[in-house]
Structure 1
Amino acid sequence: MEAPALEVAGLGKSFGSVRAVDDLSFRVEPGRVTGFLGPNGSGKTTTLRMLLGLVRPSDGRALVGGRAYADHPVPGALVGAALEATGFHPGRTGAAHLAAYAPQVGADRDRCREVLDLVGLTPAAERKVGGYSLGMRQRLGLATALLADPPALVLDEPANGLDPEGIVWLRGFLRHLASQGRTVLVSSHVLGEVQHTVDDVVVIARGRLVHASSLAELASMAGVRTYVETPDPERFAALCAERGWECAARGAGHEVADVPAAAVGAAAYAAGLELHQLATRGADLEDVFLRLTGAAA
């Protein structure tokens, strides 16, 4: 089955006087992992629910492969979704949960065992879900989404509750799914959770789109940062002020924004200022994310 693009166009949703989603448009392409980002309460989950036919839009369209999700013959076999890690019967085992859901998407018991193994839950398959940790429930939700071996996945905050090892595993697993040509949409309110996983980003705040691009384009907005440690921080701060550089204390040193390390080192040498450390730091994407969403708020 060919992987579908996911698209929302002019999408809006009002709950009484509250405008949860407002004129939202973006597209998610197959073969890529797209991060759907925004602060808590920004409208991400409402948007995903409209995409999956669980909430009726007030305005606009939400499409899967050019059609509404509910218009597909077996929508659950086309898009695997995990929107929350709480929708499980606590008295059922993990294996029993999958066995109950499998017939709805045409999966058999062999596939249930296969997806349990894929997400690392085979040792806990016969334990009741009520005793699962949040991270284990996240894995069970992912296993449920994968039952039909769908060409598209929609995951709401899938890293929530995972330990560091689990987050690393999730990153590699999502990259693997995209490499197979699948469409993968992953929401998060923390860019740092997904920045090592995604190819593209869609950022919303207060229900409106504030940015959509590749991750590389977003990183280019962060600019360069140079970290400096010196035994004479007061003279270094004065040098920055003299040059008109934006400089802030960071840990044991200072960080200079948008000035290459070579330029900072040359200026310090010319001023006879001793440096103990001079390094270029990677783009701080979280700062860009906070700036985008903060400006919208």
Structure 2
Amino acid sequence: MTIDHLTKTFGAVRAVDDLSFRVTPGRVTGFLGPNGAGKTTTLRMLLGLVRPTSGTATIGGRSYGQLAHPMRSVGSALEASSFHPGRTALDHLRVYAPQVGVSDARCREVLDLVGLGSVAKRRAGGFSLGMRQRLGLATTLLGDPRVLLLDEPANGLDPQGIAWLRAFLRHLAGEGRTVLVSSHVLSEVEQTVDDVVIIARGRLVHASSLGELAALAEPSVRVTSPDVAGLERLVADAGWSAQVDASVPAPPGTAVLRRVPAAEVGARAFTAGVELHELATRDVGLEGIFLQLVADGAPAAGGAAAAESASEADPEAGR
């Protein structure tokens, strides 16, 4: 799956801005960004529901409209509410089965796969959001596709459901499928994904393996001393990078030292005779890295977020 210089504008708003990345088969890729960052618009362009202003979005070198059997090639779930409330779970799948070209047995099989086999004859109108998420996933799997596009699939799932989804997506990727999962919260997917693509205001801000993202973390040390002048002198003499810790109210003599081990700070303070009242290691963590990456590109109110909403009513959709 390849996104190549993809751009989409809605009036004066640029929802997706010269976006390029690739998604690798056999791996789960997290497509991440704040609400309104352009994730859903990108997925809709991949599925031919929105026409790009420029650039291309291809699957196996072809646009979605050029695929001979789209639902056998790509399974997508962009929302969990597109169900007729009066239809049973099984009947919902039976509506799609002729379009996909699969049997009634396949409908029952995918319901079992997502854990809904026991409620196959219950009406979807009575399903919880988590159950609707599972039914949406079952729909994407009808054609046994090699590519899966899932928009916020963990939304509405309880902890047990999230654990199940995590294992299930890992299983699908282990079969060599391409799995792209969008989310605006890294913590929801960090135990699931192999790779991450992070966007903000429609632009790419980072793309790498999850391990490479974690390597961006910069451990820091929070240090407090009643000897303000002594601490300042210690930091200057050592050549450490220091800043005031603005995350919590702090008295004078408190600073965050970056890229320096706590043991080194303690040893140098002892040698210099600087009294310390606090010496604590602070790890940024993956969520912290994510927030730092998107901070400068976070969409302004009414900007990209409005464009995401506009994409759902795009007059070019499907053309």
- CA deviation string 1:147-199 (max 9, x = no partner): 11111111001111111111111111111111111101010001111111111
Query: d(CA) in 1 for partners of 2:38 and 2:193?
Result: 20
Q: Equivalent residue for 1:28?
A: 23
Query: d(CA) in 1 for partners of 2:155 and 2:227?
Result: 41
Aligned pair partner of 2:67 in 62, 69, 72: 72
- What amino acid does structure 1 have at the position aligned with 2:195? D
Unaligned runs of 5+ in 2: 249-254, 299-319
Q: Equivalent residue for 2:54?
A: 59
Q: Structure 1 residue 40 and structure 2 residue 35: aligned?
A: yes
Displacement of 1:264 after TM fit? Answer: 4.4
Aligned pair partner of 1:133 in 128, 133, 144: 128
Q: Label 1:175 to 1:267 Cα distance change in 2 as closer, same or farther (>3 A).
A: farther
Larger mean CA deviation between 59-68 and 268-277 belongs to 268-277
- What amino acid does structure 1 have at the position aligned with 2:297? A
Displacement of 1:224 after TM fit? Answer: 2.2
Q: Equivalent residue for 1:177?
A: 172
SS in 2 for 1:139: helix
Query: d(CA) in 1 for partners of 2:214 and 2:230?
Result: 28
Displacement of 1:72 after TM fit? Answer: 1.0
Q: Equivalent residue for 2:159?
A: 164
Displacement of 1:66 after TM fit? Answer: 0.2
TM-score of the aligned structures, taking structure 1 as reference length: 0.86
Q: Label 1:280 to 1:42 Cα distance change in 2 as closer, same or farther (>3 A).
A: closer
Preserved CA contact (<8 Å) 2:27 2:178: yes
What RMSD in Å do the two structures reach over aligned CA positions?
2.7
Q: Equivalent residue for 1:293?
A: 294
Displacement of 1:124 after TM fit? Answer: 2.2
- CA deviation string 1:20-60 (max 9, x = no partner): 11111111111111111111111100100100111111111
- What amino acid does structure 2 have at the position aligned with 1:79? V
Q: Equivalent residue for 2:251?
A: none
- What amino acid does structure 1 have at the position aligned with 2:21? F
Query: d(CA) in 1 for partners of 2:229 and 2:141?
Result: 58
Q: Label 1:55 to 1:266 Cα distance change in 2 as closer, same or farther (>3 A).
A: same
- What amino acid does structure 1 have at the position aligned with 2:27? R
- CA deviation string 1:223-277 (max 9, x = no partner): 224589xxxx655998875435457578xxx986433343345456656978999
Preserved CA contact (<8 Å) 1:261 1:278: yes
Q: Structure 1 residue 119 and structure 2 residue 114: aligned?
A: yes
Unaligned runs of 5+ in 1: 1-5
Preserved CA contact (<8 Å) 1:247 1:257: no
Q: Equivalent residue for 2:100?
A: 105
SS in 1 for 2:57: strand
Query: d(CA) in 1 for partners of 2:227 and 2:12?
Result: 53
Runs of 4+ in structure 1 deviating by more than 2 angstroms, as ranges, are 224-228, 233-250, 254-281
Using CA pairs under 8 Å that are at least 6 residues apart, name the structure with larger relative contact order, 1 or 2. Answer: 2
Q: Label 1:140 to 1:266 Cα distance change in 2 as closer, same or farther (>3 A).
A: farther
Larger mean CA deviation between 265-274 and 66-75 belongs to 265-274
Query: d(CA) in 1 for partners of 2:177 and 2:231?
Result: 49
SS in 1 for 2:296: helix
Preserved CA contact (<8 Å) 1:201 1:215: yes
Q: Equivalent residue for 2:11?
A: 16
Q: Equivalent residue for 2:181?
A: 186
Query: d(CA) in 2 for partners of 1:23 and 1:105?
Result: 33
Q: How many residues align?
A: 286
Q: Label 1:150 to 1:269 Cα distance change in 2 as closer, same or farther (>3 A).
A: farther
Preserved CA contact (<8 Å) 2:227 2:274: no
Q: Equivalent residue for 1:3?
A: none
Q: Label 1:90 to 1:267 Cα distance change in 2 as closer, same or farther (>3 A).
A: farther
Q: Equivalent residue for 2:214?
A: 219
Q: Label 1:162 to 1:264 Cα distance change in 2 as closer, same or farther (>3 A).
A: farther
Larger mean CA deviation between 89-98 and 100-109 belongs to 100-109
Q: Equivalent residue for 2:308?
A: none
Displacement of 1:122 after TM fit? Answer: 1.8
Highest Rg: 1 or 2?
2
Q: Equivalent residue for 2:82?
A: 87
Query: d(CA) in 1 for partners of 2:18 and 2:107?
Result: 39
Query: d(CA) in 2 for partners of 1:127 and 1:296?
Result: 44
Q: Label 1:52 to 1:262 Cα distance change in 2 as closer, same or farther (>3 A).
A: same
